[in-house]
A = this chain, B = another copy of it.
Amino acid sequence: MSNDMDPPASSHTVDPKADQVRLPRGFTAHVGNIGIKDQTNDFLVVVSEVPCAASAVFTKSRFAGPSIVVSREHAADHQLQAVTVISKNANVATGIPGENNARELVKLVSESTALPESSILVASTGVIGRQYPMDRIRSYLGADSQLRLEGLPAVRVAEAMMTTDTHPKVAMATVGDATIVGVAKGVGMIEPDMATMLAFVFTDAAIDATTLDTTFRSVVGRTFNSLSVDTDTSTSDTAAVLANGLAGSVDRTEFAAALEAVCLNLTLQLASDGEGATKLLTVTVTGARDDDQAKRVAKAILNSPLVKTAVHGADPNWGRVAMAIGKCSDETDIDPDHVAISFGGTEVYPNDPGESGLAALEDYLRGDSVEVQADLGIANGRWTVYGCDLSDGYVRINADYTT
């Protein structure tokens, strides 16, 4: 596997080469403005010229919207040929009219792409509790009998999905003769729960649907599902991979590694662009009873508002990391006497770094990427999770989103 990207762990901007990233062979796209909320692009269709092996995972929210309901049906046979996205309206908590609207949207896209409805995945994010402006959707999709599809740069595809994202998120890797291109969106309401945000990965690798599904679910667990911006799980999370096979077969192990590199890169971009975020925050827990315990404790640290605000303020207040570990009160095998806490590799507990050590830590915390490590001293379980600091910007963005 060769990997065309440098995971931008400490960068808030998209990979500079992303402008040149195009969808893999056989994939074309349409982007446009329906006028859901404003004049920015809010409509996307990506089409493969041949049917694709596919895997998709969805939010477990009890308030999942009709896009999720319809897409679950369509992805059940692990065969898809197109993805369509409406942004700026989630079509969630909209009742029977909302489900009818989702099915009519898919029907209109089916007619204007000449693809079966069941081969189309539909996703939608934005405000909850409002109906789609169906008159505008009908007039947009009914205007031409055939939708104009082009080999667009992947950033244009990613842009069409954005809501409060500050930049489009694209990642690419190559494996054998094939390429894997992923696009994602999401900045708030992000703690994917066994599913993920809107993230779509397109590849021309030939890979059977069963292998693709197993590989994708495993990768999603270590990447998108290890991401939390604000502990709030979206009603619309969807991640899917479509493999059209036009580049021929590839080594499965190399494919899995390349797919994970793309998904991890998108995860880091999502974390860095979390609402109001000024820093990427990575938390790794080692020495846990098992990987699951490591993940629970890592999430408790990553999601602590007191840890997140301390990181925002470049305050080496490691006692808050101890507090966050301590509040995992069900983990009765955690003993403070066996725990070690570090920032960026510098131990702060139990070995006190001293005055000069704390000053150096403040410098470290002023950077745009902060790593917290905690070793529980129990066994060999480990997990890494990804998020961001909590700033007044997060509050300002979310104190007046709909009004």
Residues of A within 8 A of B (CB): 59-64, 90, 92-93, 95, 127-129, 188-189, 191, 193-194, 230-235, 303-306, 309-310, 312-313, 315-320, 322-329, 331-332, 334-337, 349-350, 362, 390-392, 394-396, 398-403
Shortest C-beta distance, A367 to chain B (Å), equals 16
Q: Which of A231, A305, A306, A362 has the most CB of B within 10 A?
A: A305
Question: Which residues in B have their C-beta under 8 angstroms from that of A188?
Answer: 306
In the assembled complex, the CB of A230 is this many whole angstroms from the nearest CB of chain B, namely: 5
* B315 close to A62 (CB less than 8 A): no
Q: Do A394 and B319 touch across chains, with their CB atoms under 8 A apart?
A: no
17 contacts between A and B (CB under 8 A): A62-B328, A62-B332, A92-B323, A189-B320, A189-B323, A230-B305, A231-B303, A231-B304, A232-B306, A235-B326, A305-B394, A309-B394, A309-B398, A310-B399, A312-B399, A313-B399, A362-B403
Contact of A335 among B62, B193, B194 (CB under 8 A): B62
Which chain B residue has the least Cβ–Cβ distance from A307? B232
Specify which chain B residues have a CB less than 8 angstroms from the CB of A189 in the assembled complex.
306, 320, 323
- Which of B233, B315, B323, B401 sits near A63, CB closer than 8 Å? B323
Pick the residue among B61, B231, B320, B362 that contacts A326 (CB under 8 A). Answer: B61
Contact A61 B315 (CB under 8 A): no
Do B230 and A128 touch (CB < 8 A)? no
How near does chain B come to A128, taking the closest CB pair, in angstroms? 3
A336 to B336, alpha carbons, bound, how many Å? 43
A326 B63 Cβ-Cβ under 8 A: yes
Specify how many copies of this chain sit in the oligomer: 2
Contact call B396/A233, Cβ cutoff below 8 A? no
Residues of B within 8 A of A61 (CB): 323, 326-327, 329
Residues of B within 8 A of A90 (CB): 319
User: Are A391 and B395 in contact, with the CB atoms below 8 A?
Assistant: yes
Asked if B93 and A401 make an inter-chain contact with CB atoms under 8 angstroms apart, the answer reads: no
- Find out whether the CB atom of B323 lies under 8 angstroms from the CB atom of A231: no
Within the complex, the shortest CB–CB distance from A355 to chain B, in Å, comes to 12
Q: Are B63 and A232 in contact (CB under 8 A)?
A: no
Expressed in whole angstroms, the Cα–Cα distance for A310 and B60 within the complex equals 23
Q: How far is A234 from B323 in the complex, measured between Cα atoms in Å?
A: 7
A64 contacts across to B, CB distance below 8 A: 326
Q: Does B395 contact A322, Cβ atoms closer than 8 Å?
A: no
Chain B residues whose CB sits within 8 angstroms of the CB of A390 once the complex forms = 395
The answer to whether B232 touches A304, judged by C-beta atoms less than 8 angstroms apart, is yes
Interface contact B349-A399, CB-CB below 8 Å: no
Distance in Å from the Cβ of A203 to the closest Cβ of chain B? Answer: 29
C-alpha gap A402/B317 in the complex (Å): 7
A235 contacts across to B, CB distance below 8 A: 322-323, 326
Q: How far, in Å, is A65 (CB) from chain B's closest CB?
A: 9
Q: How far is the CA of A394 from the CA of B188 in the complex (A)?
A: 18
Q: Is the CB of B305 within 8 A of A193?
A: no
CB-CB nearest in chain B for A319: B128
Q: In the complex, A230 Cα to B308 Cα: how many Å?
A: 12
Report B-chain residues with C-beta under 8 Å of the C-beta of A337: 95
Report the separation of the CA atoms of residues A1 and B231 in the bound assembly, to the nearest whole angstrom. Answer: 43
In the docked arrangement, what's the CA distance between A90 and B401, Å? 38
A278 to chain B, nearest CB (A): 10
Name which residue of chain B comes closest to A130, CB basis: B319
A334 touches B62 (CB 8 A): yes
